[in-house]
């Protein structure tokens, strides 16, 4: 559209798309990845690795269900560990997708268009991964459905004062909205694929998924409206989901958890790690599929800036935690902080500070913000840190 | 009266198989029995047969099954033995496949006071009996559900119990059901029948008869049973040349010799601690299980710890930190060898001739302590008492007697009387004589009547090697387990547990209890009575006839039946307590003092606080019970003091080699605050080579350092680091609520009596206002009942009884060492130990922590499925069926009292354990949270009673009818539970006391369990 042309000619800023493309050539290039590009050995290798890991996960989960969660190291006094850490981490990852698709859409940040689709896909997978963990972390996973308010013949309801209950609603809402958002955004593209694919089966499948899209002005109008509405719905979720997740901790009276900084600090952390994940995915994808023209330095740089900003909020959160440990005068809080710095997990906490606060500060250097390899490494460090 | 033996046949076959007779059917035909025994004889060898049906699938057998219960059926109309009714009912239900495992003893046993009008299935019966430790009886009540004993409690009518118990008595129920117990007669590794044993014994016994039994030696542990002693003496009449030897590894030789020194006769001392204002313990751990009379002593001691009353003062001079030392107002850690010098100095300072002119060595450093102590004693003549511990040499006991006499305490705070041991000989000497005879080839038939000398005899006697060497041509062992000794014997006979057989025993004060069986022998074992009867040629005598026969002889005249029933019913025989004895004192009886090496490293050998001498090695409850001071489980360790550890640069869990006179042992170190310098303490009872699935190969064997010359301590120890480390499972520090550098408000609060009088409510602090919560507060005040508990820290002596009572009552699983190491033990109630002050001699405090049943329970709001809820009476209830196991409640519990089933910790398979469990409490499965319920099953049972009688629970006529398991077992009466809505209840009155405080009350949890702060009573002269 107009805007796009404007951007491409704006010499002051790096372009969101390299010059010389038309709608046609963009469509051609992208749909070719799906429709005509043969599956390479590299693809099979990647799929093989992913498949193996998935099978390992299924094996591990099977063993867990058979033996009990005692196979993890979790114990009293803090009965949560591996699974809940993973849950929070994956939910956080998902946030970048929603942020990119919803908030940036509302803010008319058109540079988002090149990365929103896979960021949304990433969100969906992240939510799916996140959903696995609370299910398998409970002592009796086969009864985890009791957390849902379903019409039970026993006449019992979940206990609505529990933050875990709020989690169920937050995460399931989040999953639903993310799925709808991703799917509605995908409809015109599915139609394009339907029109271009030569395989009959693909035509049928794409045809069904594109829900009769014909690209008429009325379709476009409705599409834009629905998309905007969903964006409006999804926007508060960016803030609310991780806020609710943080309530799991903040509502408890455990020293070190019971603090009001958690919601903003969790949200910032989520966006922080989410963008790191977006970059981790975008950088190889643009290289492998030759999409440097569409995912440009501008995208990388913007993502890096978001990371820098949210990273500083996270740093502030860490600082406040430490400060409150001292300022509250509560000996339990003070000890929790002391124990983090000097206790058995001190090396882990040190690594967390280095990965999440100190190393990402290199993003202040413009040169590194535009260097895909450096960005890839920094993103990796952040993801480890989170 | 005497029924035939209907059950016995069904039992022999239960090797590894289901012992539930319902699956076997009820068998009682003599022919079937003979058939089975014949089959058993034919099938000798280690092979177990899988089922009774396989063994005896005949028509007779089918007929027996069909007739169900031919002999018992006419029995139940007799009001005397209503077990007949039970039996029939059990049999019918069992055959109907609805209920199993009713195994009743054969002879009438008489239920205790809570005898219901008629037997109601689901309502337990209580029987009074006793279990013994080292010969001393612990009078107990056993709860029995339809013929299955499930829990052991103290006999509140018995003067030695007053309702309390000790850990060993309580845990004996697990031993009784232990599937690793010996299940058959064995010979050289092959399974044999009782009949073949009889045959095998006949020849040697006849041969000995001609020789007047010159080659027979009987080795028993300490025996207090009048019947068994009588039987043995009669045996010795028949075989006049035979000898009866006694050996108990944790014997009381020192006490015996210590009494013989001044008095010339083996009198035993009994104390009246209630009358003592000042108590001095010279290495006597008298507030812990194993010390004869400890249950009563704890009660008497605790009674005098009320700061509102005339408080007593306890001085403890000890060599190993003990829970008794933790309760001391003044504690002096000294090497065990130094204590004799301290005792001499104390006697000297009181004007007795004690053979030491001046204070020397280590004791000289404590001259001020001694002076203060002496003045305190002199001020309390006639109201003080000095106790000497078993490990201290006879001279210390003699000094204690002299000091007590000098202070005029005899007859007031302590009494002398006959010893409880029926054969009070010097056991070390007795063992030495036996070994000498065995070496000399004088022994042809050695009968080991219980005990495990191959494991626990003094190392210098090489008893096990002697057994192996075949110097004794026939060795016979009777025992509960096929242990180290059974392995080295030609014949092993499986013994019955005290809960399975008739017997009798004396409590510490001499009172005799008749031991009644609560269940027919699970593995068809023989009791010591029956075994000795066999040796005497009465192979068919039953334990019942023997015990009853003995008492019938004692009870000439009068209505014996009434006497018998009353004795069984009460749990003790009236008039059997030993009376106080006048003793004459010899002059100049004290041996001379020997020179003391002040810096020599000392080895101190002690009984283990949880597995005792090793006989409880295979008891999972006791293995997992944290030892009171170290909180170690599943292991023993070499305890050393912090100073010595620093000097030798040894850390906890470093493995060291201990060498004493060429004997070596290696084990891990545990640095114990308050342990004296230059001393190493090791506990015996570990390093078992053949204990069972639970107890084999845990820890190291400290007996291998123990010799007849130095059974308790010796100097000249060498300690070397091996460079290895060993993981120990200590529960200290798990579930910690406090912070190591917490400096504001401690969780255990204490002060001195002086300070308390100035500021009685020192422990109180401001708590948030009642309404300060997001949710609508519930009007608990309007309910009939509001349950609450107080725990008096001043009375609590850290004996761990409450933990075991809770475990037994609430079917709590044992998790094993690996799981304990990572903090997953399941005890609903834990006893925290806190230390304060100087590491070399800290003050120590115990704090039992059950669920607080907070009115604003943090666990409840966070459960997503509502599996934990508050009852209208203020109980924090746990709905196991609803729990999905998010563990959020545990995270949010500030007291860390919730326990999670990370694995399937409960044994759902072993049939014996199925019989043992309390049927009123759910057996929890994997993946659910559990915790203290305030024994809700007991509350509800009492509620049913009360409602039926249209009254309130615990009303004036039924005071104390409702007690939680922990409260009931507490010998100190430190735990009080009741209705806080009733202003006259004990618990309400205690909560109104100034010392009452809430744990972490500042969190606005409003706990229903509160604590009464500790008040110590130090000597004002000795302020340090």
Between A70, A76, A79, which is nearest B903 by CB? A70
Question: Does residue B618 sit in the same domain as residue B565?
Answer: no
pLDDT tens column, B331-352: 999 999 888 888 888 888 888 8
List the structure tokens of B384.
Answer: 């003080």
Question: Does residue B232 sit in the same domain as residue B95?
Answer: no
Question: Does residue B71 sit in the same domain as residue B216?
Answer: no
Angle in degrees, 0-180, between the axes of helices A23-35 and A163-196, rounded to the nearest 10 = 100
Contact A76 B892 (CB under 8 A): no
- The answer to whether residue A22 scores a pLDDT higher than 60 is yes
In this prediction, what percent of chain B has a pLDDT beyond 70? 86
Question: Does residue B979 sit in the same domain as residue B995?
Answer: yes
Closest alpha carbon to B735 in B827, B861, B813: B827
Q: Mean pLDDT throughout B621-626? A: 93
Picking from B417, B436, B470, the residue at the C-terminal end of a domain is: B417
Sign of the alpha-carbon torsion through B937, B996, B742, B644: negative
Question: Does residue B492 sit in the same domain as residue B631?
Answer: no
Q: Looking at the complex, does the CB of residue B309 fall below 8 Å from at least one CB of chain A?
A: no
Determine the pLDDT at residue B78. 36
- Rounded to whole angstroms, how far apart are CA atoms B318 and B340? 11
- Rounded to whole angstroms, how far apart are CA atoms B516 and B502? 5
Question: Does residue B857 sit in the same domain as residue B1000?
Answer: yes
- The answer to whether residue B594 scores a pLDDT higher than 60 is yes
* Contact criterion met (CB below 8 Å) for B576 and B554: no
**Three-class DSSP category at B4:** coil
Between A139, A252, A332, which is nearest B901 by CB? A139
- Rounded to whole angstroms, how far apart are CA atoms B520 and B7? 7
Determine the pLDDT at residue B279. 94
Closest alpha carbon to B131 in B496, B526, B531: B496
Q: Looking at the complex, does the CB of residue A125 fall below 8 Å from at least one CB of chain B?
A: no
Between B862, B884, B901, which is nearest A138 by CB? B884
Cα–Cα distances in angstroms (integers) from residue A224 to residues A4, A31, A365, B682, in the given order: 17, 22, 38, 81
Write the CB contacts of B792 (distance below 8 Å, at least 6 apart in sequence): B302, B972, B974, B975, B976, B990, B1011, B1012
Residue B583: how many other CB atoms lie within 10 Å = 16
Q: Calculate Rg over the CA atoms of chain A.
A: 23
A221 or A2: which carries more pLDDT confidence?
Answer: A221
**Three-class DSSP category at B633:** strand
Question: Does residue B270 sit in the same domain as residue B228?
Answer: no
Closest alpha carbon to B797 in B390, B271, B331, B325: B325
- Rounded to whole angstroms, how far apart are CA atoms B320 and B602? 12
- Rounded to whole angstroms, how far apart are CA atoms B629 and B617? 19
Chain B positions in Cβ-Cβ contact with residue A254 (cut-off 8 Å): 891-892
Determine the pLDDT at residue B357. 59
Question: Does residue B221 sit in the same domain as residue B258?
Answer: no
Contact A77 B744 (CB under 8 A): no
Contact B884 A139 (CB under 8 A): yes
Give B125's pLDDT tier (boundaries 50, 70, 90): confident
- Rounded to whole angstroms, how far apart are CA atoms B576 and B224? 12
Contact A164 B736 (CB under 8 A): no
Continuous segment of H or E residues that includes residue A35? helix A23-35
Residue with tokens 């860390």: B896
Residue A56: how many other CB atoms lie within 10 Å = 10
Number of domains in chain B: 5
Instruction: Tell whether omega for the bond before B289 is within 30 degrees of 0, i.e. cis.
Output: no
Residue with tokens 């005339």: B310
Residue with tokens 């290289």: A287
**Beta sheet of B330-333, edge-to-edge order:** B330-333, B313-318, B278-282, B384-388
Taken as a whole, chain B contains a residue count of: 1024
What's the maximum distance between 2 C-alpha atoms anywhere in chain A?
71
Question: Does residue B606 sit in the same domain as residue B556?
Answer: no
- Rounded to whole angstroms, how far apart are CA atoms B396 and B254? 9
- Rounded to whole angstroms, how far apart are CA atoms B161 and B968? 11
**Exposure b/e, B496-529, CB count within 10 A at least 16 = b:** bbbbbbbbbbbbbbbbbbbbbbbbbbbbbbbbbb
Query: DSSP assignment, residue B957?
Result: G
- Rounded to whole angstroms, how far apart are CA atoms B18 and B24? 9
Cα–Cα distances in angstroms (integers) from residue B383 to residues A322, B12, B276, B804, in the given order: 58, 57, 5, 34
- Rounded to whole angstroms, how far apart are CA atoms B651 and B670? 8
- The answer to whether residue B99 scores a pLDDT higher than 50 is no
List the structure tokens of A353.
Answer: 């500070």
* Domain map (residue ranges) of chain A: 255-386
Cα–Cα distances in angstroms (integers) from residue A249 to residues A78, A167, B193, B269, B927, in the given order: 11, 12, 65, 60, 22
Q: How far is CA B353 from the centre of its chain?
A: 40
Question: Does residue B929 sit in the same domain as residue B995?
Answer: yes
CATH code, domain carrying B541: 3.40.50.740
Asked whether residue B279 is assigned to any structural domain, the reply reads yes
Cα–Cα distances in angstroms (integers) from residue B434 to residues B216, B458, B461, B704, in the given order: 11, 12, 10, 19
Q: How far is CA B102 from the centre of its chain?
A: 27
Chain A positions in Cβ-Cβ contact with residue B830 (cut-off 8 Å): none
Contact B902 A137 (CB under 8 A): no
Taken as a whole, chain A contains a residue count of: 386
* Contact criterion met (CB below 8 Å) for B150 and B162: no
Helices (H) and strands (E) in chain B, counts: 34, 39
Determine the pLDDT at residue A351. 82
Q: Looking at the complex, does the CB of residue B881 fall below 8 Å from at least one CB of chain A?
A: no
List the structure tokens of A170.
Answer: 């937050």
Q: Mean pLDDT throughout A280-287? A: 83
- The answer to whether residue B792 scores a pLDDT higher than 90 is yes
B320 or A375: which carries more pLDDT confidence?
Answer: B320
Contact B892 A252 (CB under 8 A): yes
Contact B902 A78 (CB under 8 A): no
Question: Does residue B837 sit in the same domain as residue B974?
Answer: yes
Asked whether residue B296 is assigned to any structural domain, the reply reads yes
Between A77, A164, A253, which is nearest B735 by CB? A77
pLDDT tens column, A210-244: 888 888 899 999 998 998 888 888 888 878 888 88
- The answer to whether residue B1023 scores a pLDDT higher than 50 is yes
Sign of the alpha-carbon torsion through B408, B411, B416, B420: negative
DSSP letter string, A243-308: HHHHHHHHTS--TTT--TTHHHHHHHHHHHHHHHHHHHHHHHHHHHTT-TTTS-HHHHHHHHHHHH
- Rounded to whole angstroms, how far apart are CA atoms A97 and A119? 4
List the structure tokens of B655.
Answer: 């493995």
pLDDT tens column, B486-497: 999 999 999 999
pLDDT tens column, A307-366: 888 888 888 888 888 888 778 777 777 777 777 778 778 888 888 888 888 888 888 888
* Contact criterion met (CB below 8 Å) for B591 and B672: no
- The answer to whether residue A7 scores a pLDDT higher than 50 is no
CATH code, domain carrying B622: 2.40.40.20
CATH code, domain carrying B400: 3.40.228.10
Determine the pLDDT at residue B1002. 82
What ipTM was assigned to the predicted interfaces of this complex?
Answer: 0.86
Give B511's pLDDT tier (boundaries 50, 70, 90): very high
Ranked by mean pLDDT, the top range of A163-172, B100-109, B118-127 is A163-172
CA distance A249 to chain B (A): 9
Domain that holds residue B402: 254-417
Query: DSSP assignment, residue B956?
Result: G
pLDDT tens column, B687-732: 999 888 888 889 999 999 999 989 999 999 999 999 999 999 888 7
- The answer to whether residue B391 scores a pLDDT higher than 60 is yes
A159 or A154: which carries more pLDDT confidence?
Answer: A159
- The answer to whether residue B794 scores a pLDDT higher than 60 is yes
Indicate which of B815, B877, B884 best probes the interface with A, i.e. most A CBs within 10 Å of its own CB. Answer: B884
Q: Looking at the complex, does the CB of residue B691 fall below 8 Å from at least one CB of chain A?
A: no
* Contact criterion met (CB below 8 Å) for B712 and B809: no
What's the mean per-residue pLDDT of chain A?
82
Asked whether residue B110 is assigned to any structural domain, the reply reads no
Give B65's pLDDT tier (boundaries 50, 70, 90): very low
* Contact criterion met (CB below 8 Å) for B209 and B535: no
Residue with tokens 């000790």: B166
Question: Does residue B873 sit in the same domain as residue B943?
Answer: yes
List the structure tokens of B998.
Answer: 């809430």
- Rounded to whole angstroms, how far apart are CA atoms B630 and B835? 11
CA distance B794 to chain A (A): 27
List the structure tokens of B962.
Answer: 């409702």
Picking from B104, B119, B134, the residue at the C-terminal end of a domain is: B104
Contact B901 A138 (CB under 8 A): no
Contacting B residues, span 433-492, partner chain A, CB-CB under 8 Å:
none
């Amino acid at each position: 559209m107009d805007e796009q042309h404007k951007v491409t000619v704006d010499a002051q800023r790096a372009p969101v798309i390299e010059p010389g493309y038309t709608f046609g050539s963009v469509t051609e290039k992208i749909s070719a990845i799906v429709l005509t590009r043969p599956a390479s050995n590299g693809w099979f290798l990647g799929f093989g690795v992913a498949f193996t890991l998935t099978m390992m996960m299924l094996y591990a989960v099977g063993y867990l269900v058979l033996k009990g969660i005692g196979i993890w190291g979790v114990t009293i006094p803090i009965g949560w560990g591996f699974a809940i850490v993973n849950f929070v981490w994956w939910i956080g990852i998902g946030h970048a997708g929603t942020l990119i698709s919803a908030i940036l859409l509302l803010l008319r940040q058109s540079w988002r268009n090149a990365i929103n689709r896979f960021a949304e896909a990433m969100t969906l997978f992240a939510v799916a991964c996140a959903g696995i963990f609370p299910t398998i972390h409970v002592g009796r996973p086969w009864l985890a459905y009791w957390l849902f308010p379903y019409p039970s013949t026993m006449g019992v309801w979940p206990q609505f004062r529990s933050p875990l209950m709020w989690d169920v609603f937050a995460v399931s809402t989040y999953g639903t909205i993310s799925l709808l958002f991703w799917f509605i955004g995908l409809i015109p593209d599915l139609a394009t694929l339907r029109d271009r694919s030569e395989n009959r089966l693909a035509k049928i499948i794409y045809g069904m998924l594109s829900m009769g899209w014909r690209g008429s002005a009325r379709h476009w109008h409705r599409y834009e409206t629905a998309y905007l509405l969903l964006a409006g719905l999804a926007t508060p979720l960016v803030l609310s989901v991780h806020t609710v997740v943080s309530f799991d901790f903040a509502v408890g009276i455990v020293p070190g958890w019971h603090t009001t900084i958690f919601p903003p600090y969790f949200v910032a952390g989520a966006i922080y790690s989410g963008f790191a994940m977006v970059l981790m995915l975008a950088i190889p994808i643009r290289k492998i599929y030759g999409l440097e023209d569409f995912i440009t330095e501008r995208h990388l740089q913007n993502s890096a800036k978001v990371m820098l900003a949210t990273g500083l909020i996270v740093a502030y959160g860490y600082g406040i935690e430490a400060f409150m440990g001292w300022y509250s005068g509560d000996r339990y809080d003070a000890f929790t902080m002391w124990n983090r710095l000097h206790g058995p997990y001190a090396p882990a906490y040190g690594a967390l500070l280095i990965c999440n606060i100190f190393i990402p500060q290199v993003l202040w250097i413009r040169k590194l913000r535009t260097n895909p390899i450096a960005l890839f490494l920094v993103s990796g460090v952040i993801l480890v840190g989170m | 009266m005497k029924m035939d033996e209907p059950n016995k046949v069904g039992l022999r076959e239960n090797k590894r198989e289901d012992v539930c007779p319902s699956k076997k059917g009820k068998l009682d035909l003599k022919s079937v029995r003979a058939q089975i025994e014949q089959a058993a004889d034919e099938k000798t060898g280690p092979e177990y047969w899988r089922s009774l049906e396989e063994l005896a699938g005949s028509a007779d057998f089918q007929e027996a099954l069909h007739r169900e219960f031919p002999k018992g059926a006419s029995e139940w109309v007799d009001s005397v033995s209503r077990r007949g009714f039970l039996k029939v009912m059990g049999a019918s239900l069992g055959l109907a496949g609805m209920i199993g495992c009713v195994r009743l003893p054969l002879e009438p046993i008489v239920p205790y006071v809570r005898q219901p009008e008629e037997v109601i299935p689901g309502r337990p019966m209580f029987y009074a009996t006793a279990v013994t430790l080292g010969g001393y009886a612990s009078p107990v009540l056993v709860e029995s559900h339809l013929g299955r004993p499930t829990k052991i409690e103290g006999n509140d009518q018995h003067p030695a119990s007053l309702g309390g118990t000790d850990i060993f008595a309580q845990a004996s129920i697990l031993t009784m059901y232990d599937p690793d117990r010996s299940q058959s007669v064995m010979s050289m590794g092959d399974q044999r029948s009782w009949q073949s044993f009889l045959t095998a014994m006949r020849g040697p016994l006849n041969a000995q008869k001609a020789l007047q039994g010159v080659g027979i030696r009987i080795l028993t542990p300490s025996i207090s049973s009048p019947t068994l002693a009588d039987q043995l003496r009669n045996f010795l009449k028949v075989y006049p040349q035979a000898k009866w030897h006694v050996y108990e590894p944790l014997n009381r030789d020192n006490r015996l010799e210590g009494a013989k020194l001044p008095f010339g006769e083996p009198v035993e001392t009994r104390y009246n601690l209630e009358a003592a204002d000042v108590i001095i313990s010279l290495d006597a751990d008298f507030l812990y299980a194993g010390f004869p009379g400890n249950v009563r002593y704890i009660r008497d001691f605790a009674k005098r710890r009320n700061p509102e009353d005339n408080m007593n003062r306890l001085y403890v001079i000890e060599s190993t930190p003990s829970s008794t030392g933790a309760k001391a107002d003044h504690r002096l850690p000294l090497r065990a060898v130094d204590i004799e010098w301290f005792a001499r100095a104390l006697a000297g300072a009181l004007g007795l001739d004690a053979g030491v002119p001046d204070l020397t060595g280590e004791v000289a450093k404590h001259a001020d302590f001694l002076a203060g102590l002496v003045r305190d004693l002199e001020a309390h003549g006639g109201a003080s008492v000095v106790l000497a511990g078993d490990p201290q040499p006879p001279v210390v006991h003699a000094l204690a007697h002299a000091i007590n006499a000098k202070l005029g305490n005899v007859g007031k705070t302590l009494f002398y009387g006959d010893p409880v041991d029926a054969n009070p000989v010097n056991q070390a000497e007795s063992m030495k004589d036996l070994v000498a005879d065995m070496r000399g080839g004088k022994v042809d038939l050695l009968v080991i009547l219980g005990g495990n000398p191959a494991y626990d005899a003094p190392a210098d006697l090489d008893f096990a090697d002697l057994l192996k060497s075949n110097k004794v041509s026939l060795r016979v062992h009777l025992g509960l387990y096929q242990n180290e000794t059974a392995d080295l014997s030609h014949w092993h006979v499986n013994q019955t547990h005290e809960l399975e057989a008739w017997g009798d025993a004396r409590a510490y004060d001499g009172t005799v209890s008749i031991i009644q069986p609560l269940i027919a022998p699970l593995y068809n074992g023989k009791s010591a009575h029956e075994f000795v009867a066999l040796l005497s040629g009465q192979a068919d005598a039953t334990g019942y006839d023997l015990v009853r026969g003995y008492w019938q002889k004692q009870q000439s005249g009068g209505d014996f039946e009434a006497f018998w029933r009353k004795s069984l019913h009460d749990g003790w025989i009236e008039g059997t307590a030993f009376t106080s004895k006048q003793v004459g004192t010899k002059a100049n009886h004290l041996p001379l003092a020997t020179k003391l090496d002040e810096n020599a490293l000392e080895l101190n050998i002690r009984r283990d606080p949880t597995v005792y001498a090793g006989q409880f090695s295979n008891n999972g409850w006791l293995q997992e019970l944290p030892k009171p001071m170290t909180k170690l489980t599943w292991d023993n360790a070499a305890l050393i003091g912090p100073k010595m550890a620093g000097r030798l640069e040894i850390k906890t869990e470093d493995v060291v080699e201990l060498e004493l006179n060429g004997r070596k042992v290696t084990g891990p170190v545990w640095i114990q605050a308050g342990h004296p310098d230059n001393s190493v303490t090791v506990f015996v009872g570990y390093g078992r080579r053949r204990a069972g699935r639970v107890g084999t190969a845990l820890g190291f064997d400290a007996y291998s350092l123990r010799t007849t010359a130095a059974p308790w301590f010796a100097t000249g120890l060498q300690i070397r680091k091996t460079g290895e480390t060993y993981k120990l499972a200590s529960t200290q520090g798990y579930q910690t609520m406090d912070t190591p550098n917490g400096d504001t408000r401690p969780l255990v609060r204490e002060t001195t009596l002086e300070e308390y009088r100035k500021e009685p409510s020192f422990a109180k602090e401001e708590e948030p206002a009642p309404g300060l919560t997001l949710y609508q507060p519930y009007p608990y005040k309007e309910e009939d009942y509001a349950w609450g508990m107080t725990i008096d820290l001043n009375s609590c002596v850290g004996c761990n009884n409450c933990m075991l009572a809770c475990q037994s009552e609430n079917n709590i699983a044992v998790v094993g060492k690996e799981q304990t190491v990572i903090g997953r033990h399941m005890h609903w109630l834990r006893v925290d130990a806190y230390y304060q002050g100087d590491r070399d001699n800290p003050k120590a405090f115990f704090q039992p922590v059950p669920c607080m049943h907070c009115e604003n329970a943090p666990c409840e709001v966070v459960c997503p499925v509502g599996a934990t809820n508050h009852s209208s009476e203020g109980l924090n209830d746990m709905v196991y069926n609803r729990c999905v196991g998010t563990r959020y409640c545990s995270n949010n519990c500030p007291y860390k009292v919730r326990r999670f089933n990370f694995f399937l910790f409960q044994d759902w398979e072993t049939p014996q354990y199925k019989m043992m469990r309390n049927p009123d409490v759910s057996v929890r499965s994997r993946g659910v949270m559990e915790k203290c319920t305030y024994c809700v099953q007991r509350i509800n049972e009492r509620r049913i009673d009360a409602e039926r009688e249209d009254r309130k629970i615990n009303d004036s006529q039924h005071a104390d009818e409702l007690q939680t398991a922990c409260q009931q077992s507490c010998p100190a009466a430190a735990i009080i539970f009741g209705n806080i809505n009733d202003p006259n209840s004990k618990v309400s009155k205690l909560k109104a006391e100034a010392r009452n405080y809430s744990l972490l009350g500042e969190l606005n949890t409003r706990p229903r369990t509160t604590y009464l702060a500790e008040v110590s009573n130090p000597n004002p002269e000795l302020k340090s």
